[in-house]
A and B are shown apart, each in its own frame.
Chain A
Amino acid sequence: MMLGYKEKTLIGIAVLLVALTILVPFASPEIDGLEKVADEELEEGNTWSDAEKLGEDVADLAPFPDYVAFFGEDDDLAAITSGIIGILLILGVFAAMILIIRYRNQKREQTQGED
């Protein structure tokens, strides 16, 4: 049986969610390259002036900082839940784009029909 792109897309999402659930507990808890550089620079006193701390307070606005959603910080479920929320939101954005394209194409066909 040949699979269409919709089936392939759904299979891709299912595989992704399962893979994420299995792999998240094994992700390295160490800080990433840029954070490490920032830590080293701060230790050496190469810090910046207060005037340049642009938007530091904005960071507190995100609902699930550091991928901790609904469960405790040490609970793997917090990261897994965050992953699922993020994946669904991203798919939602692209689904919205698909609806916009579909609407535009319908409009085009209508105007062509009127001509």
Chain B
Amino acid sequence: MHIPDGFLSLPIALITWILALIVIGYSLWQLREIDERQLSYMGVLGAVIFAAQMLNFPIASGTSGHLAGGALAALIVGPFASVIILTVVLLIQAFMFADGGVTVLGANVLNMGIIGAFVGYYAKEILMTIREDDIMFYVAAFVAGFLGLFVAAIAAAIELGLSGTFDMGSVLIAMAFYHLIIGIGEGAITAAVMAYLAQVDFPVGLPSKGFPVEIVGTPPRLPG
């Protein structure tokens, strides 16, 4: 879902850059007391997400999708760390491999990094307040992955529509259709990775394990 250069208008590119920079700055501030161990986890997560993004899986009619990873990282190390991980991944992709534009990097960070991370993180938090057991944990991980990707795709569609690049209605419908399918893949991979990490006793918050979670920074709590 990397938006290439030439697809956004100047105002939309600027607004998304400003929003992205504000959240990146706030995330770095949240991570100011991070330790070496947590940073090394973030580095490996970044490398995993970069590699996973290269592995496109086929979906319908000559189209493919790949993991975005914002929600996955947010569930493991928290949304603020996830924003920084995805920002680094997207920077390297744009500047080294022309995957996603340099001028529209703000929009790509906003969609896949920020929206993916926070929508995924809070989707899981909300679901876990309904019922806190292992089955709900995996359902929540799937929903987090799915929604993180789907809402990011809708955001990308709105940015493209507002830029006048494409007709708003048709770009929204088309992006929603393809990313509904890609989102299922994202959700499945997110749940599978969380299951694997829980199996090897990595502290991801599986209710039956009762380990402390490795969330870095303090995301605002849900009301109630």
Physical interaction between A and B: yes
Which one, B117-125, B138-146, B164-172, B205-213, is touching chain A?
Answer: B164-172
Alpha-carbon gap, A54 to B34, bound state (A): 37
> Are A95 and B103 in contact (CB-based, < 8 A)?
no
A30 and B153 contact, Cβ closer than 8 Å, known pairs A62-B97, A63-B96 = no
> Are B54 and A48 in contact (CB-based, < 8 A)?
no
Which one, B19-27, B43-51, B126-134, B187-195, is touching chain A?
Answer: B43-51
Alpha-carbon gap, A60 to B103, bound state (A): 12
A32 and B164 contact, Cβ closer than 8 Å, known pairs A5-B41, A55-B6, A102-B36 = no
> Are B5 and A54 in contact (CB-based, < 8 A)?
yes
> Are B63 and A31 in contact (CB-based, < 8 A)?
yes
Alpha-carbon gap, A48 to B4, bound state (A): 14
**Chain A residue contacts of B59, Cβ below 8 A:** 33
**Chain A residue contacts of B46, Cβ below 8 A:** 90-91, 93-94
**Shortest CB distance B166–A (Å):** 4
User: B2 touches which one: A34, A47, A55, A86 (CB < 8 A)?
Assistant: A34
**Shortest CB distance B222–A (Å):** 30
Nearest-CB residue, chain A, relative to B57: A28
> Are B55 and A94 in contact (CB-based, < 8 A)?
no
> Are B7 and A46 in contact (CB-based, < 8 A)?
no
> Are A41 and B65 in contact (CB-based, < 8 A)?
no
**Chain A residue contacts of B54, Cβ below 8 A:** 20, 24, 27, 67, 79, 82-83, 86
Q: Does A114 contact B (CB under 8 A)?
A: no
Interface residues on A, range: 35 or more
Nearest-CB residue, chain A, relative to B10: A54
Q: Does B221 contact A (CB under 8 A)?
A: no
User: What 0/1 readout, one digit per residue, does chain A (43-61) give for beta carbons within 8 Å of chain B?
Assistant: 0101111001111111111
Alpha-carbon gap, A82 to B166, bound state (A): 32
User: A13 touches which one: B3, B47, B101 (CB < 8 A)?
Assistant: B47
Q: Does A1 contact B (CB under 8 A)?
A: no
User: What 0/1 readout, one digit per residue, does chain A (12-47) give for beta carbons within 8 Å of chain B?
Assistant: 110010011001101111111110111011001011
User: A90 touches which one: B36, B50, B163, B178 (CB < 8 A)?
Assistant: B50
Alpha-carbon gap, A51 to B100, bound state (A): 20
Between A and B, 10 residue pairs with Cβ closer than 8 Å are: A33-B182, A34-B156, A37-B175, A41-B170, A46-B167, A52-B165, A55-B6, A61-B95, A62-B98, A93-B46
Binding site for B on A (CB under 8 A): 5-6, 9, 12-13, 16, 19-20, 23-24, 26-34, 36-38, 40-41, 44, 46-49, 52-67, 79, 82-83, 85-87, 89-91, 93-95, 97-98, 101-102
A41-B165, A93-B88 provided; 14 other pairs, C-beta below 8 A? A12-B48, A23-B55, A24-B55, A33-B175, A33-B179, A48-B166, A52-B164, A55-B103, A56-B6, A58-B103, A86-B92, A87-B47, A98-B36, A98-B40
